[in-house]
A and B are shown apart, each in its own frame.
Chain A
Amino acid sequence: MSELVPLHNEPKKPAGAFVDAATLADGATLEADVVVIGSGAGGAVVACELQRAGFDVIVLEEGGHHTRADFKMREDINYPMLYQESGARATKDLGMTILQGRAVGGSTVVNWTTSFRTPPRVYEHWKKAHAVGEISIADLSPHWDAVEERLHVEKVPYEQTNRNNRVLFDGATALGLQVDTTRRNVKRCMQSGYCGMGCPVDAKQSMLVTYLPDAVERGARVVSRCRVDKLVVAGGSVGKAECSVIGDDGYNTSGKRVTVRARRFVLAAGGIGSPSILIRSGLGGGMVGRRTFLHPVHGVFAHYKDPIEPYYGAPQSVASHAHAERGDDPGLFYEAAPMHPMLAAVATAGFGAVHRQLMEKLPYVAAHIALAIDGFHPSEEGGTVTVRPSGAPLLDYQTPLRIRQALREGVKWLAKINFAAGAEEVGFGEFPMLMLRSDRDLSLFDHYDMGKQPLFSAHVMGGCKMGDDPKSSVVRSKDLRHHTVENLHIVDGSVFPTSLGVNPQESIYGLARLVASRLVQSWKA
């Protein structure tokens, strides 16, 4: 059993370590200069940079510390292990399934490696419409350079795209749509296809194998299976975090409690996570939990004569932003999605014989998704996070009509792209499911009721909006400090005022590194 020594009265810092909270004594108190809550894209980068600058950092993570040895490339094993609610987290009306990670390394352990910097137009919009005055692309650029180097972010050559991605590339090209290969944070990728279940060879440069070990090497403690129940605020500042230790099933608490004290707190539990911790701490109200955006997804599957094998090869290596800017209408971007049997079963409509027949065609299936860029129009208020009686978070997101209409356009384009690439038929939808046999069937989309369709989200953004007007935001833009609680910062994807229009990880890395550098400057002064 590891004993963690209180910081004060000790001239030497404790050694860095990955600590399983289950090994701590019930009622243990830990101390640090800074506590970072959440070990994902935001938390890991902040923790590492602060530790590197000489602050003693503890990172608290409710998920488990799982490594390559645990990544079995099995949906039945790794979804419950690595995803919030086993991958079945859903919005209040069950209309949207949400994929978020839950592990040391956060969602970066299970994401599909796509790396994009935030488009400049997004920060321009935030400055104009959301009073984000103290962060610019110029501020972020050197931090993106550094992150891209550390995470080995490199562009995928066309030759390395798997067939599922290649038909998206070729079909879009045939239609004259902008499309390109993506950049990925991988090193010596073996093209296995299992990014979404934890990289089995540590090729994916997630926080688990980069910034967190970097932080631990410099003395940080990363405490896993330690869920922050609430922050205790007294006299206008956070004094401590009260935590429950997660038990052997990885989900329910074991009954043990741990307290963590620090002078400063950085909340980095992500979209849904950060707002829910604030609410549980009595720091809700105002904009907390509000303006949660999701890049709502709808997809199509296509059948080809020749095998596609959508379960092998890097899952995502191509993206089209041809329709990312649609004037007043929500933008769209298009990517591929890997299809292993469980994900395929969930994404494929129907039951019984009809469903079975479709599942039997899996090797011939290409699967592509349209992601709607929500939150930019003034009418879009996004979803709202609340907390259930048990303390678990709950997101209520009512997909606006304009987003559904955009998705209808998006899936129509995906169908066109697939026919242009040679697909024999394209399937889509749950209520009802449609099978299109050629371009001539595209008109079936025109009166299709998108209001009934279940959607997905793998990108949860917002809920603790940044901005320089305290009445309409939770943290200020300069250093993501809470407007009223002076020793609390929020550094993760929950601070985004709208969605991003690109996969979020690199946007969060860059922002976290920038803000960390500002914190180091001001805290050392």
Chain B
Amino acid sequence: MNRRTFIRRGFFGGLLLAVGGSVGLLAWPTDESAHARQPLRALTPRQFAVLAAIAGRTVTAPRADPITIAERVDAQMATAPPEVRADFGKLLLLFENALAGFVLDARAKPFTRLSPAAQDDVLADWRDSRLAVRRSGYAVLRKLTEAAYYAAPDGWEGTGYPGPPQISVPT
């Protein structure tokens, strides 16, 4: 695939091509047992489950809760431009999808059904990939999940960050 094709198709067109896309995505059954506790605002239950599985590996702070992290990302996606929201949903399904793994990584299960160690290997594969689209996809996933955890007070423990000071301003 040449650069012009990638640019014309944009990030997700490029990603589809890079993982053997025009064949159609083989949908292995996602493990959807990771449910949101709040009504979803942007993601489908399947996308949510994939996202929670990813968050379970990107953030390994002792009390980090992948469901909470995924819910926060879902809320953020609800305020994103619709195209960004749609692209993110597709990224999650591509990450999950066994076909991608099958074609390039000889992975035979969707991400949600892999062991934690195998999930870490997939993340590392995308991180270390020679394909820019995979690296960018990895970066989006790790940044969004990590940001969602560390932005709120329950993410501060262990970082040494005491939180904001009490400021009283003379009236």
Contacts and interface: CB of A to CB of B under 8 A. Distances in A.
B57 A352 contact: yes
Nearest to A362: B159
A74 B151 CA distance: 7
B11 A93 contact: yes
A344 B160 CA distance: 12
A73 B150 contact: no
Query: SS class of chain A's interface: helix, strand, loop or mixed?
Result: loop
B90 to A, nearest CB: 13
Nearest to B3: A398
Contact of A86 (B79, B146, B150): B79
Contacts of A138: none
Contacts of B152: 74-76
Nearest to B120: A352
Interface in A476-507: none
Contact of B151 (A76, A93, A363): A76
Given A86-B79, A356-B59, A431-B135, 10 more contacts: A75-B152, A85-B80, A86-B76, A93-B132, A192-B164, A192-B165, A342-B151, A346-B147, A356-B158, A390-B82
Given A356-B61, A363-B161, A249 B78 contact: yes
Interface in A425-445: 430-432
Given A75-B151, A251-B79, A351-B146, A92 B11 contact: yes
Interface residues of B, number: 46
Interface in A33-50: none
Interface in B54-78: 57-61, 72, 76, 78
Interface stretch (B20-28, B30-38, B97-105, B136-144): B136-144
With a 10 A CB-CB cut-off, give which of B78, B128, B146 has the most chain A CB atoms: B146
A194 B164 CA distance: 8
Nearest to A348: B146
Contacts of A518: none
Nearest to B82: A390
Nearest to A79: B151
Interface in B1-60: 7, 10-11, 57-60
Contacts of A88: 76, 80, 143-144, 147
Which 7 A-B pairs give the minimum distances between C-beta atoms? Answer: A73-B164, A392-B81, A251-B79, A76-B151, A342-B151, A341-B150, A363-B160
A432 B81 contact: no
Contact of A351 (B58, B78, B150, B169): B58
Contacts of A352: 57-60, 120, 123
A200 interface: yes
A94 interface: yes
A74 B157 CA distance: 15
B160 A360 contact: yes
B34 to A, nearest CB: 18
A390 B60 CA distance: 37
A250 B10 CA distance: 28
B11 A346 contact: no
A93 B9 CA distance: 11
B142 A340 contact: no
B160 A362 contact: yes
B79 A80 contact: yes
B58 A390 contact: no
A355 interface: yes
B84 interface: yes
B139 A430 contact: yes
A66 to B, nearest CB: 15
B151 A388 contact: no
Interface in A94-112: 94-95
A190 B166 CA distance: 11
B83 A351 contact: no
A201 interface: yes
